[in-house]
Structure 1
């Protein structure tokens, strides 16, 4: 771990596109029972069966929240109604406000780990958002002045008139019990339910026209780029633009970043409820990326739109390692990825082709960086300096770790995997986490950065 932290001090990373403010609400049994009483248990059950993909009225929110609590799995659902936004303000008080969005979370993490340079870009940068970035000399925002690219601290670069996106994060804890009519539900795992603001002004995933020509220069000065936020794109916009327009722009960005140097690109995938939009993002963005990170639910969603419905259903229903490996092989080959990283509650997985320059041992070390950073964040709530990772190293791997390794060995003995390198490490799990928001982003950022550092050590990048 110390070797990786030393490597990070000589590494630079570019991040785009999504930042927001996370307003965190810590749920308790009283919150939940009050909501069920207000809307009626039978109405909630009926709407749960309908499984709304968007929040257009309060009952949609309650139904998806109860579903998340029942399964104990983290979920994110877009909020489409301004009226419901006002309803939230009348029902819940924010416990904490902090930086959110994959770019915001990862930028602060990497800056606090003493990366040489972290360049974080978001199309909108309001003052409140700028104030939430850590005030470190290595965390910078790109601006163009007098025809030249300049890197400034976020607080020196914000725009007074830019709006700030606010997402509501409902944190829940394992062991919470409540009644849904005659059914008693106990939450199996700690997690979070995200009500993601999808106002149109925040749904334009693009690089500003004055900054875009300088992306080749950015690509030259960094060792890697982490791109995220594609889940915010809409099918249609009031000005006549559509998802195809913004995806073309996003593809241009990646090609420009790679124009002068073949910089490695990692895409952090997040759940996209709309099936057609999910398909467009997958086919347009993934083939241009070198690395992609996702959880097991997201891999199932992707397999579904690729036409592997039965396999997708098996992953959702049984969550077996062999099904996840089969799905990962399909994604790696059909989308021409260099490496796929999957994070689940109990394990992290890498799958690459056999000709990858890193050994299985190297890949395992990289995954262990990811789970150690995530455990540190879960226990402390944040990582503020490199020394904090000592805490994560003292957190044991989860109790199913040996079982996970055994299941991997069984799966590899039955499957055709000679063309691949597949490694799994158990996760380090904190029983009572301060927060679960951003743990997947932390895993992916730590794994991707350590993957790059290993490639550089071997002279393969």
Structure 2
């Protein structure tokens, strides 16, 4: 955590376009008191990041619901502009915060797109920048093996189609350790048709190979979905989530507010 303070104090010097944070899950092994202290220190450091520099938080697997709940509620989520997470982290998050589909014990195969979109929508509505909420969170990049979902509050981000497609492309190339997608080494695992919600009247989306990024809207929030060409025999899987989120951020544009 001291590194975070040193890092933030040096931001003025090298003036980054974006800050990416990770590692909050490493607090799990500490005592409750130490964790509380560290989390407050992290919040203070994140608060010191200059206005106008977007902040992305990459989550990692956790087993302590108290820590996850604290990250959501104790000012971490409202301080960052963007969050990246996978299906384990998303399900654990909704269980820890009693969100939608919290009774779901685990995913059965490929995570249901409607369930995922309900939870992500709830995160942005409850903890994002919506009317009456003092929060900077406007973007969530969800990645699972079969597909990716980039969800944004309207009016804050642009170029989402390219961003979600770039994240999916790097998942295929990095896992197979190739420069470009090798069609003979990948396969499609994503559903060819799905409902966009399990909680309200939903539209049905069918996969169009000519326009693989699907888009839909829900009460001021826009969803961009793309299937992933999954590597049959992956050579590299460590850090794949980081690579996906980084690539997506590289193509994302944030409007100045």
TM-score of the two chains, using structure 2 as the length reference: 0.79
Largest Rg, 1 or 2:
1
8 A Cα contact 1:395 1:429, kept in partner: no
8 A Cα contact 2:21 2:55, kept in partner: yes
Aligned length: 232
Q: 1:298 to 1:208 in 2, by over 3 A?
A: closer
Equivalent residues in 2 for 1:10-409 (5 A)? 205-207=1-3, 211=6, 214-217=9-12, 221-234=15-28, 236-237=30-31, 242-258=34-50, 261-284=51-74, 285-308=76-99, 311-314=101-104, 316-318=106-108, 319-336=111-128, 337-358=137-158, 362-380=159-177, 388=179, 391-392=180-181, 398-401=187-190, 403=192, 406-408=193-195
Deviation, structure 1 residue 343:
0.3
Q: 1:436 to 1:234 in 2, by over 3 A?
A: closer
Write the deviation string for residues 89-124 of structure 1: whole angstroms up to 9, x where unpaired.
xxxxxxxxxxxxxxxxxxxxxxxxxxxxxxxxxxxx
8 A Cα contact 2:185 2:233, kept in partner: no
8 A Cα contact 2:118 2:197, kept in partner: no
2:242 aligned residue (431, 435, 441): 441
SS at structure 1 position matched to 2:229: coil
SS at structure 2 position matched to 1:435: coil
8 A Cα contact 1:396 1:428, kept in partner: no
CA RMSD of superposed structures (Å):
2.9
Deviation, structure 1 residue 324:
0.8
TM-score of the two chains, using structure 1 as the length reference: 0.46
SS at structure 2 position matched to 1:257: coil
1:432 aligned residue (230, 233, 241): 233
Q: 1:366 to 1:424 in 2, by over 3 A?
A: same
8 A Cα contact 2:21 2:58, kept in partner: yes
Deviation, structure 1 residue 428:
1.8
- Alpha-carbon separation, structure 1, partners of 2:256 and 2:183: 32
Structure 2 unpaired stretches of 5+:
129-136, 205-215
8 A Cα contact 2:141 2:151, kept in partner: yes
Q: Which has the higher contact order (CA 8 A, sep 6+)?
A: 2
8 A Cα contact 1:348 1:427, kept in partner: yes
- Alpha-carbon separation, structure 2, partners of 1:317 and 1:376: 26
SS at structure 2 position matched to 1:293: strand
The structure whose residues are more often helix, as a share, is 1
Structure 1 unpaired stretches of 5+:
1-204, 382-387
- Alpha-carbon separation, structure 1, partners of 2:35 and 2:186: 41
SS at structure 2 position matched to 1:271: coil
